[in-house]
Amino acid sequence: MTATRERLVLIGNGMAGVATLEQIIKLGGNYEITVIGSEPHPNYNRIMLSYVLEGSQTIDDIVLNSREWYAENGITLHTGVTVTAIDADSRCIITDKGDPIPYDKVIIATGSSSLILPIPGHDKQGVVGFRDIADCHQMMEAAATYPKAAVIGGGLLGLEAAKGLVSLGMDVTVVHLMNDLMERQLDSVAAAMLKKELESQGIQFKMGAQTAELQGGERVERLLFNDGTTLEADFVVMAAGIRPNTAVARNSGIEMERGILVNDYLQTSMPNVYAVGECVQHRGNCYGLVAPLFEQGMVLAKHICGLDTQPYEGSTVSTKLKISGVDVFSAGVFIENEQQSVITARDDWKKTYKKIILQDNTIVGAVLFGDINDSAQLQKLIRDGAPMTDELYAELMGTGGCSHGKKKASVETMADDEIVCGCNGVTKLDIVSAIQDKGLTSVDEIKACTGATRSCGGCKPVVEQILQFVLGDGATVASSQGICGCTTHSRDEIVAAIRDKGLKTIKEVMNVMEWKNPEGCSKCRPAINYYLGMIHPVEYQDEKESRFVNERMNANIQKDGTYTVVPRMYGGVTTPEDLKKIADVSVKYNVKAVKMTGGQRIDLIGVQKEDLPLVWAELDMPSGYAYAKSLRTVKTCVGSQFCRFGTQDSMGMGASLEQRFERLDFPAKFKMAVNGCPRNCAESCTKDIGIVGNDGGWEIFIGGNGGIKARLADSFCKVKTDEELIDLCGAIIQYYRETGKYLERTSEWVERMGLDQIKAAILDDTDNRQQLIERVNIALAQLEDPWQKVLHDEPTRTALFGTKTNV
C-alpha cells in the first residue's frame, strides 16, 4: 500500500518561496504541494519590474514559472487568495476565501511591501509604492495622463522607478533625504558618478530634502519640504524602503520582531512551520536583496527533505543597479575607516571607478562603477576573507597581462561547488555539466537548462567566461537569436521548417528542431502555436493549453483574481437591446464596475471565474477579444451619417472591417480606426491600420502605436472604393501575419521590414496581393466564436473551470 504523501503548503508565490520549492523538487522531496499567492499572477521576477516599467520587457517576459509548470510538477496553485492565519491545533491554513487548507508542513514566504511614509497626504490619489505588477500598471496608467512625477527615495528601488517613469515620458524628480544616492551601498565618489549619469538620462534630483507633506485636493499636486520649498507633482512613488509582510505570523501567534523570527534552519516558533525570504528576521537581520533569500531557500530545502546541510549563518550582501546603461556594484564594506586601507582606480573618460577596501590586508569590501566584470570574483573574495597578493592585485587592477588570459584563469581556478548564480543556487559544476552533457553553446541555452542568469542577470559575465572556457579558445560562443532559451532557432527558421517539413503539432516542431527543453516554455509554446495555426489554418488543431491564461479563459484576469468581460461592439456602435443585456448581466453577477474602454466598448469588471460561461451565455453577444492577440477594436467617428464634416461612412466601414476580421489570430494585439474625414477624431494615426476618409475615397495608414512606444502611422496608399479598402486591409493583415514575429506589434514590424518592402509586396506585386487575400480568406473561413464550444461542451467547461457549470 502506497504511503500518503505529506502536505506541504507554501504561503506566498514570490521568488524566494518558489525557488525553495524548485530546490525541494530537484532534491526529490516527496510532498503534496499547495501554493497560495495573493497576486493573480504565477511566480514572476520582481527584480525585472523596472524593465517592464521602461517598456523593454512585458509581464509575460518576466514570468519565472508559468501555470503549466505548477501543473507539470503536481502543484496546486491558488492565486488571488490571501492567507489570514495558521491554525496549529487543527493544522489548517485559513484564507480570505473561507475554505481551510490542511497541512503537515508550512513555508511562509510572504515577502515585503513598500514602506509608505506616514506623512500628511500619503493617502491621496496618485501616491503609490513600487513593489509588484499592480504598482507597475498604476505607474504606466499615470504616465499616460499626468506629466510630472516625484520619486521619494534615492536608493536602488527609487532609481529604478525613476528611470522607468522617464522612459514613459514623464518629467521625474528623485527626492532624497541624504546628500548621496544609494548611501547604503556606495561611497560619495560612486554616488556622484551615478547621479551625473542619471541626470544625463533625464532624471532630476532634489538632494538633502525631507518631505513634510503631500499637498493637493483628492489627488496629490505638490510636495512640501521642511525648508518651506515645494515641488509640483501629480504622481508620487514612495520608494523609501520595504517592510516585511508579517500579518500571517502575527495572527497565528508566531514569534516576530521586525520580521518573522527563524533559527539557522529557517524554523519559526510554531512546530512544522518555516519561513524564508524578505519576511524573515535571522540573527537580527532582515534581507531585501535576492541572493540571501535564495541562500536561505537552499538550506531550508535540504532540511525539509531530510538531507544533511550546513546551517544558514547569514549572508554577505552585494548590490547591482539594474538600470539600462548604468552598471554599479557594491559588496561588503564600501566606506573605509582609519584602520582600513584602500586601492582605487578612477577613469573619468571611460566613466569607470573601482575601489577595494582591505582590513589587515584582507579584502572586506568593494565598489565598482561603469565596469563590473570583476563583481563575481570580488564577491567571492570578500565572502572568503581572501588576502590581497601581488598576483591578485595585478589581476584585479589590470596590470597582469591581457584580459582574456585573466578571465580564463579566474574561471579555471574556480571551485566546482562555487555558486555562480546566487539568485538560483547554480554552481560552476552545474553549468559545466550542462554545457558538456547537452552541447550548449549560448548563455540563453544555459539559462533555460540551469536557471543561471534567469533572475537579476548579474552573473552573466561569469557564465559567458565559463562557457568560453569549457568550449575552448577555438570554439565560437553562439550569439543566440532563438525565440527563447529553449532553442537557438529564429522565428524565420521555425516557420520555414513548419512549411518545408510539414510539421503539424508543437511536439513535432520541438522534436524535429531538437529543442533543448523538450517541453518548451511560456515564450515558445504560444509562439509555435500561432505559427502552426497561421501556416495550416484548415488542418491545425489549436492547443488551448499553449495560450496565455487570458486567451484560454476568453477574459482578462485582474489583480484580485476576477475577470473582465468585453462584448463586441462593431465600430463602437451598440443597440438599446444589447445595452439592456449588459445592464441585466452586470446586476445579476455582481459586476464591480462597468467601464467605457478606449476602444469604444463596455467592460464588465469583476466577474468571478466560475460565472464566465453563464455571463457569456446570457449576454449572447460575440466576444470583443479584449484579451487576445487578434483584432481588438475598430474605433470610429460618427462620419457622414451624422457629422457635418464627414465625407465617408466611417461607422459603417468600421463595423464591416470588424465583422470581417474578428477572431483572426495575429502575432500581437491589433487595433484599427476609421475616420470619416481628415480631422482624425478616431485617432487613426496611432493604430495598426488607420483609415481616413476624404472626398475621393480612403487613405490607409499602417504601423501606428499609442502605447509605451508611441509611433505615428505611415501613409500606405489611397483607394477609391470600399471594396478596394477591405481587400487591401486583408492583404496587409495577412502579410503581417505571415512575416511578423510573435508578439511583435505592427509599429515594430514596419520599422524592421521597411515601408518600401511592404508596399512592394502588396501594392506593386498584384499577383502576390491576390494570393495574400486568398490566404486570409481561407483562414477567416475556419473561425468560430470560441465561447460556443465552452457553452455547449461540458468537458471543455470542466477542463477550464474545474467543476461542472450548467449553462
Q: How far apart are CA 250 and CA 260, in angstroms?
A: 9
- The cell for 741 is 514575429
- In this prediction, residue 316 has a pLDDT band, given cuts at 50, 70 and 90, of confident
CATH class for domain 6-111+244-304?
A: alpha beta
- The cell for 706 is 499609442
Model confidence over 76-103: pLDDT tens digits?
Answer: 999 999 999 999 999 999 999 878 999 9
Using H for helix, E for strand and C for coil, what is the string for 645-678? CCCCCHHHHHHHHHHHHCCCECCCCEEEEEECCC
Q: How remote is the C-alpha of 479 from its chain's centroid?
A: 23
Q: How far apart are CA 428 and CA 418, in angstroms?
A: 6
Model confidence over 124-181: pLDDT tens digits?
Answer: 999 999 988 889 889 988 888 899 999 999 998 899 899 889 888 899 999 999 999 9
Q: What is the pLDDT of residue 1?
A: 41
Task: Indicate left, alpha or beta for 220 from its phi (over 0: left) and psi (-120 to 50: alpha).
Answer: beta
Give percent of the chain above pLDDT 90: 53
Give CB contacts under 8 A, 24+ apart, made by 350-353.
351/193, 351/197, 353/189, 353/190, 353/193
Model confidence over 509-559: pLDDT tens digits?
Answer: 998 888 887 788 878 888 999 999 999 999 898 888 788 777 877 787 776
How many residues are present in the chain? 807
Q: How far apart are CA 745 and CA 742, in angstroms?
A: 9
- CATH 3.50.50.60 positions along the chain are 6-111+244-304, 127-240
- CATH 3.30.413.10 positions along the chain are 628-784
Q: What is the pLDDT of residue 710?
A: 80
Among residues 32, 41, 40, which one has the least CA distance to residue 10? 32
The yes-or-no verdict on residue 376 having pLDDT over 90 is: no
The correct CATH number of 318-471 out of 3.30.390.30, 2.30.110.10, 1.20.120.530, 3.90.1750.10 is 3.30.390.30
Superfamily of domain 127-240: FAD/NAD(P)-binding domain (3.50.50.60)
Model confidence over 697-755: pLDDT tens digits?
Answer: 999 999 999 876 789 999 999 999 999 999 999 999 999 999 999 989 999 999 999 99
- The cell for 5 is 504523501
Give percent of the chain above pLDDT 70: 92
Q: What is the pLDDT of residue 323?
A: 62
Beta strand pairing call for 556-557 and 563-565:
antiparallel
| Sequence-separated (6 or more) residues with CB below 8 Å from residue 749 | 667, 703, 736, 739, 740, 741
Establish how many alpha carbons lie within 13 A of residue 497's alpha carbon, considering only the half-sphere containing its beta carbon. 16
Task: Indicate left, alpha or beta for 663 from its phi (over 0: left) and psi (-120 to 50: alpha).
Answer: left
Contact 327, 369 (CB under 8 A): yes
The yes-or-no verdict on residue 464 having pLDDT over 60 is: yes
* Domain 628-784 indexed as CATH 2.30.30.190: no
Contact 730, 776 (CB under 8 A): yes
Q: How far apart are the first and last CA of the chain?
A: 41
Q: How far apart are CA 768 and CA 775, in angstroms?
A: 10
- CATH 3.30.390.30 positions along the chain are 318-471
- Give CA separation, 464 vs 18, 404, 411, 443, in Å: 26, 12, 10, 6
Q: What is the pLDDT of residue 765?
A: 93
